[in-house]
Chains A and B, each alone.
Chain A
Amino acid sequence: MRADRRLIDALRDDLGCIGTKEGCSIGVCGACSVLVDGKLLSACLMPAVFVSGRAVTTVEGLARGDELSPLQDAFIREGGFQCGICTPGQLIAATALLAERRRPSDDEIREWMMGNLCRCTGYHGITRAIKAAMA
């Protein structure tokens, strides 16, 4: 692989995993959120060579077969998305949050999720979904 490929290029173009989206390309919007060894990162800022030998989780890896993760299920039930372009990133960011803090407060949810922009939902549905998944 070319040394200057980013993780987002490797995922989408080389592996065809197009669940992860590219929005801003400068680390701000969160659309490209992925987990690398469980850590939340921007695939648009990460050189692909940095993940050699590490586990990368994208939105494609959240469900087990046909069984959605509790967060995915809650996003559907609580109206956590509309157009859906930000949703893979929201789900990955929320997955990282709940892995780190089992019961985050409302403030902790807002503070953690502030790096994942959404032009549609007004964020209430997203926060509701995360709280529902905790329940």
Chain B
Amino acid sequence: MTYDYHEPETVAEALDLMARHGEDAHLVAGATAFTLLWRQGLLRPGHVIGLRRIVGLGGITATDKELVIGATATHREIERSADVARHCPALTRTFASVATVRIRNQATLGGNLAHADPAQDPPPMLMALGAEVVAASAAGERTIALDDLFVDVFTTSLRSDEVLTAIRVPALAPGTHATYLKFLPQTADDYATVSVAATMRFTDDGEVADVRVALGACGPTPVRARSVEDALAGAVPDAARIADAAARVDADIAPFDDVRGSAGYKRDMARVWTERALLSLVEGRA
């Protein structure tokens, strides 16, 4: 059995095809995840709609206010973009840490976010940066904060009649430091065992003015570590305070056992790597 393949050239044409074929239609961008799921028989659409020819879904643009990444931009385009590097070097490093050059040449950011594997790298970094996605449907456009996008393993709040068109990353407040740490105890091209993204800004007195922490591979979705953030807000982030805040990550995560470690091990590693991420931001401020 196979499917009919369609390649619309505009978002409007894609939405038309989706309306015509309803639940029997499936979108693909880079098709890396789709090819694997198709071959395993986990997806059986009658119609596949390729997004790669839609010019308006590609590209990366930067203004003073925000960075806008098209849904079909590949990981490698983002990794190599001078605009992205200027906006946030940690974002460049996040994309460079995804799998291998081969995968990064093919897989797209829109596909990554819509696929919603909780161990993926871009989601926690984009959460920590306060990003949002733009979703288009016949009814118009809406934006969804990254914090509200992920619902469960492989499940997002995108509706089946929506195309994710772009990812918007707001400009960081001046003086904001950002990092992404990916813990890879097995091979360098693996998915994270745990990953931690964090941003922090300090007052002139050295107190924490702003902090956002998000983790990947620590449960059914990437998560904000609100308990950690609350423990640091307004504090002078010395080593003891950071150790205390990092330990609170336990309340924010719900990891499960898999080939990359037991739930208990991931809990320990989430604390260790959260502490390392926060320390690196405080040390990097000098």
Contacts and interface: CB of A to CB of B under 8 A. Distances in A.
A3 B48 contact: yes
Nearest to B187: A114
A3 B32 contact: no
Nearest to B47: A3
Contacts of B36: 26-27, 45
B5 A45 contact: no
B102 A114 contact: no
Contacts of A46: 31, 35, 106
Given A27-B32, A47-B31, A112-B101, A4 B38 contact: yes
Contacts, number: 66
B103 A50 contact: no
A50 B189 contact: no
Most buried by B among A47, A49, A96: A47
B100 interface: yes
B44 to A, nearest CB: 11
Given A45-B32, A46-B31, A3 B3 contact: yes
Interface string A1-37: 0111010000000000000000001111010010000
B217 to A, nearest CB: 18
Nearest to A3: B5
Nearest to B30: A45
Contact of A6 (B35, B52, B187, B188): B35
Interface string A40-73: 1110111101100000000000000000000000
B102 A40 contact: yes
Interface footprint category on A: 20 to 34
Nearest to A4: B2
B143 interface: no
Nearest to B40: A26
B52 A50 contact: yes
A100 B139 CA distance: 44
Interface string B232-259: 0000000000000000000000000000
Interface in B99-143: 99-103, 105-106
Nearest to A92: B102
Contact of B106 (A3, A4, A42): A42
**9 residue pairs, one from A and one from B, having the closest CB atoms:** A115-B100, A3-B5, A4-B2, A2-B2, A39-B105, A45-B32, A42-B102, A45-B35, A40-B102
Interface of B: 2-5, 28, 31-32, 35-36, 38-39, 48, 50, 52, 99-103, 105-106, 187-189
Given A27-B36, A49-B50, 15 more contacts: A3-B48, A4-B38, A6-B35, A27-B102, A41-B102, A45-B103, A46-B35, A47-B5, A47-B50, A50-B31, A50-B50, A93-B101, A114-B187, A115-B102, A115-B189
Interface of A: 2-4, 6, 25-28, 30, 33, 39-42, 44-47, 49-50, 93, 96, 111-112, 114-115
